[in-house]
Structure 1
């Protein structure tokens, strides 16, 4: 009897529990494992992406505030694929140049068009920063309940086995309960990193978006002063 108990204990490994589980519980476990892998893929991708965006913002701010003329900086960036502050700058300058080429005379209308162009670009950049964060939120909120579903199904199966064997011996029911609880453990293993990553990346995305929004406000003020300087002589001449 003692040897049988030792053999049963040696069989209670994670792999053996998975292989002995029912079809529904197996599907739940596989889905949760896939969700965990997807979570870590997003974590790695976002970590690299946000680091790259920070470096791009730092580099652009250094060049922008170095005293280089706006026209020269626009010529440098207009033919490149830009992102972040560079994309906001290019969109504003493009609207600026188009308006003056068409003979803009109303400073308020020109300022509104430039601000709208920057707002659209800022929204697009913020959306890119927040891409796939919804997946983390979904996994973080749903994975524990999916694991619990697998646990409930596994425990129901164990009770059915107890009824069939007409034995309440713990050695009979323990493997089935362990299989069921493994589903909950995998659900938590998928959910906890997803929740932590979602909170961190949401905060990081908010900080990066705030930096770009602050630049857009500063650049809008710079262009507003230049609009007044350019249009003031024409208004005086018209008077």
Structure 2
């Protein structure tokens, strides 16, 4: 009686088609594929959460900064309050522009080529800040494109083992083949679970990052125009007394 119960229990264990059972019964290669894909999936969700939070934070900070920037206050006061210790990308761009501008006007007169140097400093800063925000985006793209093929590799390996079991037992009964095929297909399913969110998140985050980069570039263009107008105004003020003296 005990022997019959034990045999039945072993038979049930051998044909456990639950997700956990499929994992436990899988070949070590298929297990390695499943574990790798699960780790990649967890890391994908961690990256997505971090990027969503980061983009919301920098956009909110940019909104607040632009409100203060366009309030009509002094640029020097704004620089003293935020530019000298920037906390977000737009403040870093403002800081880079103001630093270069003050270097160019160190002697009281704006040196030639100041506009180009300011624009170059802002472009470099935008590139550096966007590179920081885009960190790990390549990983999302890689998981989205590679994970299905890794899962397919696990599936092929598992099906090969199933055919080897058929040949060894000389039995084509579906009950013999089904567990191995189910384990193999489970690897493909995990690959899709990792890949689909990665692709969707990559597309959405890429669009959001491009939109924020455009926002920084627009701010840099507008700020460069403001500095150019101030340069022209300062030059005109100096030219006026000279013209009067010549008269």
- Shared fold, TM over 0.5: yes
TM-score normalised to structure 2 length: 0.90
- Deviation of the 1:231 alpha carbon: 2.7
Match of 2:220 in 1: 216
Q: In 1, distance between residues paired with 2:133 and 2:110? A: 37
Which one of 29, 52, 68 corresponds to residue 24 of structure 1? 29
Match of 2:3 in 1: none
Match of 1:99 in 2: 104
For structure 2, the residue ranges without an aligned partner over 5 or more in a row are 1-6
- Deviation of the 1:79 alpha carbon: 3.3
Q: Is 1:82 equivalent to 2:87 in the alignment?
A: yes
Moved more, 222-231 or 175-184: 222-231
Cα RMSD for the two superposed structures: 2.1
Which one of 176, 182, 186 corresponds to residue 178 of structure 1? 182
Q: In 2, distance between residues paired with 1:186 and 1:235? A: 73
Which one of 169, 175, 191 corresponds to residue 165 of structure 1? 169
Greater than 6 Å deviation, 4+ residue runs: none
| Structure 1 segment 6-155 matched on structure 2, within 5 A | 7=12, 11-102=16-107, 104-107=109-112, 109-155=113-159
How many positions carry a matched residue from both structures? 236
1:124-146 deviation line (CA, Å, top 9, x unaligned): 12112211111100000000000
TM-score normalised to structure 1 length: 0.92
Structure 2 residue matching 1:209: 3-state secondary structure: helix
2:90/2:216 contact within 8 Å kept: yes
- Deviation of the 1:81 alpha carbon: 3.3
- Deviation of the 1:86 alpha carbon: 1.1
For structure 1, the residue ranges without an aligned partner over 5 or more in a row are none
Q: In 2, distance between residues paired with 1:47 and 1:169? A: 50
The structure, 1 or 2, with the larger RCO (C-alpha pairs under 8 Å, 6+ apart) is 1
